[in-house]
Amino acid sequence: MTRSRLAIAVGLACLLGGCAQPASPEPLGQVEGEVKLDDQLLPEVTVTFLAEPVKGKTRASEAKSLTDAQGKYVLPSLVEGPEGAAGGVPVGWYRVIVEDTMAENSRKGMAPRFASRYTSASKTPFRYQVTAGHQKINLSLEKEPAAEPPPDNPDKADAKAKKEKAEKAERAKNDKAKHKAASDPARPAPGLTTTQP
């Protein structure tokens, strides 16, 4: 049988019966943890692990989990493990975002319970490396910083700033005059008069 006929025969066999792919098990990690806000466990938030291929060869794109009433989450198995081994998520670097599911589902327009930076893939401070085997990754969140209230009357605030600036300039002028008078004994300091004996 010629090489070309052999190649065609092998191709037909793969097409009809299927060709077994060589086993290539990759390391998997099983991830769980808890989410806290000001040291209080936070229920009903969605934790999403987004793969960062730049920092590793992570195959999965994302893994999501919702915290329970005790603020705990467990990532689902995105990849099945080899026979007899646990599944999990591929090892590698991930950035983690957290979304307030309770606030999103609120019918009363509930405000998010934590800072908005945790919900953005580009702003989140959470970067973690998932390694092979079981591991706990706990997340500690902070509230949104309180915004400074605007002045009650912008014109009044501007006038006050100008007044303070003028008073500061006047004090500097008087200090300069006093210093000059002190260095010249023949000239009395401002506000002082001399009398002849």
pTM: 0.61
How many C-beta atoms surround the C-beta of residue 193 within 10 A? 5
Note whether residue 4 is domain-resident.
no
Higher pLDDT, 170 or 4: 170
CATH classification of the domain holding 105: 2.60.40.1120
Note whether residue 8 is domain-resident.
no
| pLDDT recorded at residue 49 | 97
Note whether residue 158 is domain-resident.
yes
- CB of 35 closer than 8 Å to CB of 67: yes
Which structural domain, as residue segments, surrounds residue 153? 148-188
**pLDDT tens per residue, range 128-137:** 999 999 999 9
**pLDDT tens per residue, range 34-71:** 999 999 999 999 999 999 876 555 555 799 999 999 99
Say yes or no: 62 and 36 in one domain.
yes
| pLDDT recorded at residue 28 | 92
Give the separation between CA 47 and CA 170, rounded to whole angstroms: 59
Say yes or no: 75 and 120 in one domain.
yes
Say yes or no: 156 and 124 in one domain.
no
| pLDDT recorded at residue 55 | 57
pLDDT higher than threshold 60 for residue 109 = yes
Burial class (CB in 10 A: 0-12, 13-18, 19+), 67: buried
- CB of 63 closer than 8 Å to CB of 69: no
Residue 126 tokens, joined: 């959470």
Note whether residue 98 is domain-resident.
yes
Say yes or no: 116 and 173 in one domain.
no
pLDDT higher than threshold 50 for residue 3 = no
Say yes or no: 79 and 125 in one domain.
yes
Say yes or no: 84 and 101 in one domain.
yes
Note whether residue 197 is domain-resident.
no
Say yes or no: 177 and 117 in one domain.
no
Q: How many domains does the chain have?
A: 2
Beta strands in the chain (DSSP E): 28-37, 40-41, 46-51, 62-66, 72-74, 89-90, 92-99, 127-130, 133-136, 139-141
| pLDDT recorded at residue 81 | 81
Average pLDDT of the residues in 146-167: 72
Say yes or no: 100 and 177 in one domain.
no
Say yes or no: 46 and 64 in one domain.
yes
For the CA atoms of 106, 108, 114, 120, the dihedral, rounded to the nearest 10 degrees, stands at 60
Say yes or no: 105 and 84 in one domain.
yes
Q: Which residues on neighbouring strands pair with residue 34, listed in sequence order?
A: 72
Beta strand 28-37 with 133-136: parallel, antiparallel or unpaired?
parallel
- Report the largest interatomic distance among the alpha carbons of the chain, rounded to a whole angstrom: 138
Note whether residue 108 is domain-resident.
yes
Residue recorded with tokens 């983690």: 96
